[in-house]
Amino acid sequence: MGRLDGRVAIVTGAGGGIGREHALLLGREGAAVVVDDIGTRTGADAEAVAAQIRDAGGAAVATTASATWDGAAEIVGTAVDAFGRVDIVVNNATAGRNDDLWDYSREEWDLTMEVNLTGYYALMREAVPHMARQGGGAIVNTSSASGFGHPSHGAYAAAKEGLIGLTRTAAMELGRFGIRTNAIRPVALTVQVAEYHEHSARWRRLMDLTMGTGTTQMDPDAVSPAKVAPFVVWLCTDAAAGVNGCTFAVWGDKVSLLAEPRPKATIEQAGGWTLDDLDRVAPDELVPGLRNRWTLADNPDLQEFPDA
């Protein structure tokens, strides 16, 4: 018996890359799968993935609805029409472009937010009533280490870190219905990641300085998309019934439960703080030794601001 027999899963962005691996493994574990992908990425094909699941003896349907506010109802409706229920949502669709903070267009910003944050919320909003009436479900949201900071990817970083707040809130709000909501920050080399590295070449020095070694230096086999799927599928099984509101890093052979933010240093003064008091206390007791590490003075090989 598969771990997910009788359950119905939706995976967005499942026509290729990480999402494809999620869909295939969910199908192998017995879930009926709604494979969603608009098909604009290189090599993405929702119907081909659904056909592969069916050829292996599973149940799957494909949809090319956009995983956005406007398309969420259609995606969930496809699951209910085809299989009668929704038990699992894996929000995996993504979109985003590189640009300098001062050059992002409104269209670039809106597209990134719509797919990576608004669309995730919209799909949860449509699926949750079905899950609650059924007595439970599992949601896995795909965040990113970009949320820790990612030069040239301001919109994407903002959306993916906002998604962590949404995940925590959903876990608190929906846990009473037996619905578990968790997030992953995966690392995997895909065609899209390779294209991203090509497009981001002019920011590489700044990325290396501020973020550390990136996936361009990783062995493709070591960070294969197939290595992400098992943990995501595990989060959807009964074995993870107690896991709710957590964030995990999934990187090759490693899975890490990430710590939640907590105070690092605190200063307190009865009656509050004046500027003079902060001048006196904060440098030594709140922010000792902090400095801007990324100035041109310290890193003269970084790009200067372009001439007007």
52 contact partners, CB below 8 Å, separation of at least 6: 24
Cα–Cα–Cα angle for 252, 254, 256, nearest 5°? 130
Q: What is the dihedral of CA 258, 22, 217, 221, to 10 degrees?
A: 120
Residue reference for tokens 């149940």? 59
Catalytic residue list: 156
Q: What is the dihedral of CA 51, 55, 57, 62, to 10 degrees?
A: 0
49 contact partners, CB below 8 Å, separation of at least 6: 14, 15, 16, 20, 23, 24, 35, 37, 60, 62
Measured from the Cβ of residue 192, the count of other Cβ atoms closer than 10 Å reads 20
What is the rounded CA–CA span in Å between residue 282 and residue 153?
Answer: 32
Q: Give the side-chain half-sphere CA count within 13 A for 21.
A: 17
What is the rounded CA–CA span in Å between residue 122 and residue 119?
Answer: 5
As given in the structure block, the two tokens for residue 107 are: 């269209």
DSSP string, 186-215: EE---HHHHHHHHHTGGGHHHHHHHH-S-G
Q: What are phi and psi of 137, to 5 degrees?
A: 175, 180
